C-alpha cells in the first residue's frame, strides 16, 4: 500500500493535466522519485508493483485513455 501514490493517482485521474507539471515539488510529501517516474511513463505494471491500489490505477488509465489490459500484457 502506497497512500501517497494513491492520493496522487486520484488527483491525476481527476485532472490529467497535472502530469504536464508534475515533479517532486508539485507532487507533495511522501512521493518517491520512482513513483513520479512511473506516473510520467504511464507505466501501469510499475505503479502496481510500487503499491498503488488497482482501482486507482484503472481510474488513472481511463483518464489518460490507456488500455490497462494491454499495458499489463506487455509486462509479461
Are residues 63 and 14 in contact, defined by beta-carbon separation less than 8 angstroms? yes
Domain boundaries, the chain: 3-75
Kindly report, residue by residue over 19-74, the tens digit of the pLDDT.
998 877 777 777 899 999 999 999 999 999 999 999 999 999 999 999 988 888 87
- The model carries a pTM of 0.87
For residue 28, what is its C-alpha cell?
507533495
- Dihedrals φ, ψ of 57, to 5°? -60, -40
Kindly report, residue by residue over 51-62, the tens digit of the pLDDT.
999 999 999 999
What HEC string does the chain produce? CCHHHHHHHHHHHHCHHHHHHCCHHHHCCCCCHHHHHHHHHCCHHHHHHCCCCHHHHHHHHHHCCCCHHHHHHHHC
Amino acid at each position: 500500500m502506497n497512500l501517497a501514490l494513491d492520493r496522487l493517482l486520484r488527483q491525476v485521474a481527476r485532472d490529467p493535466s497535472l502530469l504536464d507539471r508534475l515533479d517532486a515539488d508539485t507532487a507533495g510529501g511522501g512521493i518517491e522519485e520512482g513513483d513520479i517516474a512511473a506516473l510520467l511513463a504511464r507505466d501501469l505494471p510499475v505503479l502496481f508493483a510500487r503499491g498503488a491500489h488497482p482501482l486507482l490505477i484503472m481510474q488513472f488509465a481511463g483518464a489518460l485513455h490507456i488500455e490497462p489490459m494491454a499495458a499489463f500484457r506487455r509486462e509479461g
